Amino acid sequence: MSLYRLTASLLNSWLRATDPDAEGNEYADFLADLGREQRPTGPAAQMGIDFENTVYQATQGIYDKTEEPSADLAAAIAFGNRLKGAGYQVKAMKQTEVCGVPLNLVGIADFVKAGVITDIKRVMRYEYGKYQSSVQHPMYMELWPEAIRFDYLIWDGKYAYAETYRRGDFEPVTGTIQRFLNYLDATGLTYTYFSHWKEKE
């Protein structure tokens, strides 16, 4: 029986597209994600990637120590000190079945250390609870059953923040997956998903 890959990124893309308050190109972006279309990395996403890389370098003590650090570098060093010894870009997979569909849940955690999964965010603006509705922490807590906590470490260019989630703080990811698959079925998009997300045998 065929197996279909599913990621938190795709589920989050769907949630943004179907949010009643969605504006702009969220639905077009979701269709592109569903079709696994290659798109250029936008400035905001690139800023996040660059900051995460700097945090990782800071965990290794790799940064310019001869000059006063910029605000971004100082934040990355603070995050890096907290994450020293953590595994970086740790991949996990779990096969399961939801609504009769065989799935391969896949995730890559920024950092994993002592039962804590940490995701680094670099944003322009932040309000507490920004990631409460994200599928990332339910998905990753499913993928790492031994994890006790999921932390978002957030930097907005001026202040550092943290959002922490533990089991019981959120709906298990299975519920979101059920709604996602039902939505694909109701909108005639199941074939598109199956065509582009089938795992190689």
Kindly list the domain boundaries of the chain, sorted by start residue: 42-183
Note the pLDDT of residue 140.
Answer: 98
State the Cα–Cα distance between residues 3 and 200, nearest whole angstrom: 8
CA angle 182, 15, 93 (to 5 degrees): 75
pLDDT category of residue 1 using cuts at 50, 70 and 90: confident
The residue among 192, 184, 189, 1 whose CA lies nearest residue 96 is: 1
Note the pLDDT of residue 201.
Answer: 81
Furthest-apart CA pair in the chain: how many Å?
59
Angle between helices 26-34 and 8-18 (to 10 degrees): 150
Q: Is the pLDDT of residue 67 over 90?
A: no
State the Cα–Cα distance between residues 185 and 192, nearest whole angstrom: 10
pLDDT category of residue 64 using cuts at 50, 70 and 90: confident
State the Cα–Cα distance between residues 51 and 27, nearest whole angstrom: 28
pLDDT category of residue 188 using cuts at 50, 70 and 90: very high
| pLDDT per residue as tens digits for the range 2-45 | 999 999 999 999 999 999 988 889 999 999 999 999 999 999 99
Helices in the chain by DSSP H: which ranges? 8-18, 26-34, 43-59, 71-82, 136-143, 173-187, 190-197
Note the pLDDT of residue 23.
Answer: 83
Q: What is the mean pLDDT of the chain?
A: 96
Would you give the DSSP letter of residue 4? E
Cβ neighbors of 190 (< 8 A, separation 6 or more) are 181, 184
Total-model pTM? 0.95
87-98 vs 101-113, strand pairing mode: antiparallel
- pLDDT (average), residues 48-73: 95
Find where tokens 């995460």 sit: 52
In this structure, the chain runs to a length of: 201
- pLDDT (average), residues 183-188: 98
CA distances 88 to 4, 93, 185, 199, Å, are 26, 16, 37, 25
Q: Is the pLDDT of residue 46 over 90?
A: yes
In the chain, pLDDT over 70 holds for what percent of residues?
Answer: 100
- pLDDT (average), residues 134-151: 98
pLDDT category of residue 77 using cuts at 50, 70 and 90: very high
